[in-house]
Amino acid sequence: MNEMKLCQSCAMPMNQPDAQYGTETDGTKNADYCHYCYEDGKFTFHGTMEEMINICVPHMVSNEPGGMNEEAARSMLQGILPQLKRWK
């Protein structure tokens, strides 16, 4: 089984064939970061890791059966983000 590929800034899953990767200044795809975090060769977000967590949590919370609540999403991100390239 393939390891889950994550944006190395926000932890968004990047395994899908249509994943929206960030771009370098010459327009080439950057395979480490999503387009929300990295465009035209630079980061689009300039805050702290805790601020990134606060931005990402609402996108992970779901009221669907078996969905993630805010506490679980925050805990997951607090465990993952420090391991990512951008935050090391």
**How does pLDDT run across 8-42, given as a tens digit for each residue?**
999 999 988 777 999 999 999 999 999 999 999 99
Q: What is the pLDDT of residue 16?
A: 80
Query: Does residue 52 contact residue 9 with C-beta atoms inside 8 Å?
Result: yes
Mean pLDDT of the chain: 93
pLDDT value of position 81: 98
Instruction: Give the per-residue pLDDT at 63.
Output: 86
> Can you say whether the dihedral through the CA atoms of 54, 56, 58, 60 is positive or negative?
negative
- Domain positions in the chain: 1-45, 47-83
